Structure 1
Amino acid sequence: MNDSRDQGASNRKLRLVYDGECPMCRRYVRWQRIRREVGELELIDARQESEARRELTARGIDLDEGFALQIGERWYHGSEALHRLTLLGTRSGAFNRTMYRLFASQERTARLYPLLRACRNGLLRVLGKGRIGNLVRK
């Protein structure tokens, strides 16, 4: 018996919401390659108004704390998104092989992600870029 959860990956919605003003983030999404059988990955700039940004805001997902990846109906955020995206990636090219070695382990990704986020935040401060601010701060 087949149900919708057993459909091939190419039938899934794949969206990545990332910080389009972060040079590190832009380079990552440009170099990251997912396997052809997985399907097409839609890239969405978190700083632009979009349906995906509204959905993430409604779910309370803070895009200043990390990018978000949608696979099917499920959203992953931060280190979990990076780990999942790595598993969807190819192993071709030095960049993708390195990303796989670093982030194929969920535990290692969780340990490294705060450092990556701190580097991103520092870089944005140096560049004079503000927060994405999709969640209202009180």
Structure 2
Amino acid sequence: MTANAADFSGPTCGRRYEKELETHFRDCLLFYLDGRIKFERYCYGEAACLVFSVWAHGFDEDGRIRWDKEPEFETDQKALPRVLTDVQEDGTALQFDCARKRYVMTEEFDTDKMNGYSRFKVFLLRQTHR
């Protein structure tokens, strides 16, 4: 499946997709206007925090996510979605690796300063990605 990561970012800076029906971890994919993707895994419970995150430079021609660097631990490597296999509900639900659990859009955001997407950068990206 040929895909462009920027198509899932929406009209603003980006969108957050969260894996549905997850009980132990909160897995999120963030898609940005420039085609970058960020995977974030959070733990649930009293000590809820970020477990790890990984950046990617979009998809290849077969729908595989091009991760910048693989996580160090095998369990973290297995958590990463690899291949986009289906786009559902007009792009608000994404299926990876033919898995039953989908990533569903939960948020659209105008900026993301923590990840380097200030209002000025988003403005510049919109000018170059028209």
User: TM-score scaled by structure 2?
Assistant: 0.29
Structure with greater proportional strand content: 2
Bigger-Rg structure (1/2) = 1
